[in-house]
Amino acid sequence: MPKEGKVEIDDIVRGHVEFENALLDDFVLMKTSGVPTYNFACVIDDHLMDISHVIRGDDHLSNTPRQIHLYKALGWGYPKFAHLAMILGPDGARLSKRHGHTSVLDYRADGYLPEALLNYLALLGWSTEDSQQLFEPKELIQKFSLERCTTSPSTFDPTKLLWMNGEYIRKKSAKDLIETFSGWLKATNQEDLIKGWDKALIEKTITLEHEKIKLLKDIPGLIDFFFTDTVKYNEEAVAKVFRTDIAKMVLSEGIKKLQNQSDFSPEALEKLARDLAQEKGIKPGQVFHPIRVAISGRTQGPSLFHMMEVMGKDTVLKRINTALEKYFK
């Protein structure tokens, strides 16, 4: 290695960088095993593959002057360099395995969409002038530039990634989401999760919960109560909603009215429930909540009356009757 002069680099991200040759050591090119070292191998590889740009983390910045000396010694031109800032974990330490997922396959298994993950990764250390967050893939390609990458480390925020994935799921049409979900089940060998479930009912129930889905893996747990003959009642839901005389009255009176209800549209069902509340001098919520827990076993879920429409009259009546026999005898 030369002992005088310096290596100057116009890094696309970091700007003009200089290295004094006197501070560079005589580094090893070949190990005793006959295997070339990283600095030697990557120069040969990049030249033979006609690499025009080397884009890597700034922890490799110190390797660049050594590699440039090798390019010059071999009589070759060298590529342009762009050294990106490191990515940190939420705790401020360099991102590593201990921060969670280590493979893109782990993210796929959890139900992250490829386009959401790509969008999020692009924003780690880069932004547009107007701080746009969501991009179509072609738009991202068009707008991305190395020159706008920051030299400051960025933080990998799982919460933001989850939010972004939910946004991408909500952008999909119901039809596209169902196709994506089906493809994900097959790709991750999880088709048994919906084994025996009616396909048409799956489509209807996914549509009901579309706005709440953040990960594809959430879907079975959000809609599974539609596909069982035995409702699994959440203990907290039962304790919160059923342990009142009003709940028993609502279910007893509600089942009588629903038996005579020919119009099972959401609008008609809501009117029936509100009329019952007015008739008994109670709040509408005191009618809605017991019915929800009786037919789903939960306090959370899709719009109550749309859920009842999808379940159908026979199933709704059966489940309310089951709840009365189980909890109010």
Q: Is the dihedral of CA 183, 186, 188, 191 positive or negative?
A: positive
Are the beta carbons of 126 and 153 closer than 8 angstroms? Answer: no
Strand 87-88 relative to strand 80-84, pairing: unpaired
Instruction: Give residue for tokens 């609502």.
Output: 250
CB 195 within 8 A of CB 169: no
- Determine whether 80 is an active site residue: no
304-311 helix and 313-327 helix, angle to the nearest 10 degrees: 110
The count of other CB atoms within 10 Å of the CB of residue 198 is 12
Selecting among 97, 138, 195, 329, the annotated active-site residue is 97
Cα–Cα nearest to 237, from 286, 327, 299, 292: 299
Pairing of strands 80-84, 53-57: parallel
Helices and strands in the chain: count of H runs, count of E runs: 15, 6
**N-to-C CA span, the chain:** 91
Residues that are catalytic:
97
